[in-house]
Amino acid sequence: MFSGKKKDTDFLALLIEAAENTLEAAKVFREAMSGSSALAPYFDKLKELENKGDQLTHSIFKGLSKVFLTPIDREDIMELAMSVDDVVDGIEATIARFDYLNIDKTDDFMKEFAEVIVSSCEHILEAFKLLSKKKYSEITEHAVHINSLENEADRLMREGIRAIFVSPKDPYHDFKIKELYERLEQTTDSCEDVANILDSVVLRYA
């Protein structure tokens, strides 16, 4: 039988693995947005990473149902697991829109969004590593960066939508691009959700 401490280490390791998976998805998405190759090959790859994220979240939830001792409140573990999974879900949902909306080109706004998402995921991973080491006070810096990146995503969405209406093209195409910008911004909102949960953890444990 595992000790409570061993189980605690497993939960934090699973959160780190989930963050690593999400960061990998963000980097694959950034590559897709670079415009250097066709988008189709990325659809299946990101779906695989999204499925892996679901499996990791399931493992965390299943583990929580079997143990009493956890390294931090089980509600915090659940919320962190769900929120980081929301990020990879958002990335996959965005690339899926390129498929079913029949969009085969990216633009500069999409490339900048991809950079913001990668940077946010890098900060999430580093924060989770600090969480596993109980270095709570150092987590705040990463949460602040994630919040700043979400503000940058808000700006990108506003400017992207403004550009659509300043230089309108085909209305149907413009609608599809607007939906993509909005979905990308929602993905950065999910990153900010992770940061907000981390802030609450810091307040309780630092």
Scanning the structure block, which residue is given the tokens 């503000």?
151
pLDDT band at 201 (very low <50, low <70, confident <90, very high): very high
* DSSP string for residues in the chain: ---HHHHHHHHHHHHHHHHHHHHHHHHHHHHHHTTSS-SHHHHHHHHHHHHHHHHHHHHHHHHHTT-S--SS-HHHHHHHHHHHHHHHHHHHHHHHHHHHTT-----HHHHHHHHHHHHHHHHHHHHHHHHHTT-HHHHHHHHHHHHHHHHHHHHHHHHHHHHHHHS---HHHHHHHHHHHHHHHHHHHHHHHHHHHHHHHHHHH-
Contact 53, 98 (CB under 8 A): no
**Among residues of the chain, what percentage have pLDDT more than 90?**
86
Q: Please tell me the predicted confidence (pLDDT) of residue 180.
A: 97
- For the cut 80, the answer to whether the pLDDT of residue 196 exceeds it is yes
pLDDT band at 46 (very low <50, low <70, confident <90, very high): very high
Model pLDDT for residues 166-194, shown as the tens digit of each residue: 998 899 999 999 999 999 999 999 999 99
Q: What is the residue extent of each domain of the chain?
A: 4-205
pLDDT band at 6 (very low <50, low <70, confident <90, very high): very low
The type of residue at 104 is D
Query: Once rounded to an integer, what is the mean pLDDT over residues 29-36?
Result: 94
Q: Please tell me the predicted confidence (pLDDT) of residue 205.
A: 86
Model pLDDT for residues 138-172, shown as the tens digit of each residue: 999 999 999 999 999 999 999 999 999 999 889 99
pLDDT band at 37 (very low <50, low <70, confident <90, very high): confident
Give the CATH H-level superfamily of domain 4-205. Phosphate transport system protein phou homolog 2; domain 2 (1.20.58.220)
- For the cut 80, the answer to whether the pLDDT of residue 52 exceeds it is yes
User: What angle do the packed helices 40-64 and 4-33 form, to 10 degrees?
Assistant: 170
